[in-house]
Structure 1
Amino acid sequence: MKGSYLFFWLTASLVFGLDRLTKIWAESTLTLGNSVVGLDGWYHWTLYHNPGAAGGLWSGHADWLALISILAGLAILWFIYRGPHDRNIWLLLGLGLMFGGALGNLYDRLFYQYVIDFIDPVGANYIYNLADKGIRWGLYLAVLGLWFSGKRLAKESQNVVS
């Protein structure tokens, strides 16, 4: 296995591990539905069992949401290993963040039939977890990595033509 693929796996493992640790902390210290001041003025900690996707969409369909998570994870793995992405650290970082986040939420869906959310931004109408942030920031970094790949491929094709 190439070192950069190891970077992908380490990133995914870090996101999954931190997500699990923070969810264990939330379940053991917070009471369902009650808010506790976290970072005053920024976040509260509010334990919420989300039976659906973002904001409770598709509640009651944990089996379908688990299947979607599995398919997303497989698509990431397929994409990583099918192409020459081993030199694109931004893409590998982004895909690692997304893969670890997908695994974190998949774990909850399989073992609890809901996702454990607890990060409650002050003034917002949503609650999330570290897996959700891994998926979100991973998407941004993966798009940046794809942009860099496009620039590199364009440069390489110019060199071939010249």
Structure 2
Amino acid sequence: MSCRSESTKAGVASGVHGSAGAFGGSQSTFRSRRAWIVFLTAIVLSLVVDLLTKEWAFARLANAPVTIDRSQVLATSDLHLLLPQPPPRVVVVPGLLDLTLVLNPGAVFGLGAGKRWFFIFFTVIAVAVVTWIFWKGTRPRDWPAHLAAGLIIGSGLGNLYDRVLYACVRDFLHPLPQARWPGGKPLWPYVSNVADALLLAGIAGLLLFTWRRDASEDMPAGPKTNKDRAES
């Protein structure tokens, strides 16, 4: 009976550890100082860089600083009227990147114009989900995933700041401004900001991490190293 009890316990323990390993994370990430440093540093730096570049663009690109009044944004259906006409345009790299000023009532690529409260709610949920992924879906050594998760949260908070304070998002980066489709339509008509770029980079990084992790789990397991034993 003792042998059967011990084998049963071992089987249960093996099943528990197997299910945790299949997800790829552990509670040790929550206790990892390095993981938190990478995660929080990415959040703070992406948020600060995004807000500072927005402030700089709206203060410097036009002949005079452009201030955004939230009440005016909510009262008008054409946000272009709140900007200098014609909008300023500064060529940074000819044919590759221009700087201009746009007030975006939607999300990245101008999607969902006018659905400000939806995007505020969505951002809050996304921050919670990505934080949960950082905690439960990564290991202490998975610093690329921690960096990617931090970029997603920091960029989301940057645009959330704009939506709450200004009821719109300040955009100023226009890549490929002169590129055209064969019919003459602009190839990339969207104006974005640093938060949008960091958001896409963070999503791409997290997807790459997930793909590489899944691929490594499909490979035959080799002998554990001392580092693996310490993290398990």
State yes or no: 1:106 paired with 2:160. yes
Q: Is the 8 A contact 2:110 2:190 kept in 1?
A: no
Out of 195, 205, 219, the position equivalent to 1:141 is: 205
Q: What residue in structure 1 maps to residue 60 of structure 2?
A: 29
Partner SS, residue 136 of structure 1: helix
- The ranges of structure 1 where at least 4 consecutive aligned residues each deviate by more than 6 angstroms after the TM superposition are none
Partner SS, residue 158 of structure 1: coil
Q: What residue in structure 1 maps to residue 50 of structure 2?
A: 19
Which structure has more RCO (C-alpha within 8 Å, separation ≥ 6)?
A: 1
Once the two structures are TM-superposed, the CA of residue 97 in structure 1 deviates from its matched residue by 1.2
What's the Cα RMSD here?
Answer: 1.8
Gaps of 5+ in 2: 1-30, 63-82, 179-187, 224-232
Number of aligned residue pairs: 159
TM-score (norm 1): 0.88
Amino acid at match of 1:56: G
Structure 1 range deviating more: 108-117 or 145-154: 145-154
Amino acid at match of 1:19: D
Partner SS, residue 198 of structure 2: helix
Q: What residue in structure 2 maps to residue 57 of structure 1?
A: 111
Structure 1 range deviating more: 54-63 or 4-13: 54-63
Partner SS, residue 52 of structure 1: coil
Mapped partners of 2:138, 2:196: distance in 1:
27
Partner SS, residue 112 of structure 2: coil
Mapped partners of 2:161, 2:59: distance in 1:
17
Mapped partners of 1:68, 1:144: distance in 2:
23
Q: What residue in structure 2 maps to residue 97 of structure 1?
A: 151
Q: What residue in structure 1 maps to residue 23 of structure 2?
A: none
Once the two structures are TM-superposed, the CA of residue 85 in structure 1 deviates from its matched residue by 2.9
Matches within 5 A, 1:40-51: 40-51=94-105
Aligned identity (percent) is 31
Q: Is the 8 A contact 1:90 1:144 kept in 2?
A: no
Query: Which has the larger share of helix?
Result: 1
Partner SS, residue 24 of structure 1: helix
TM-score (norm 2): 0.63
Q: Is the 8 A contact 2:106 2:168 kept in 1?
A: yes
| Cα pair distance change 1:59/1:84, threshold 3 Å | closer
Mapped partners of 1:148, 1:57: distance in 2:
30
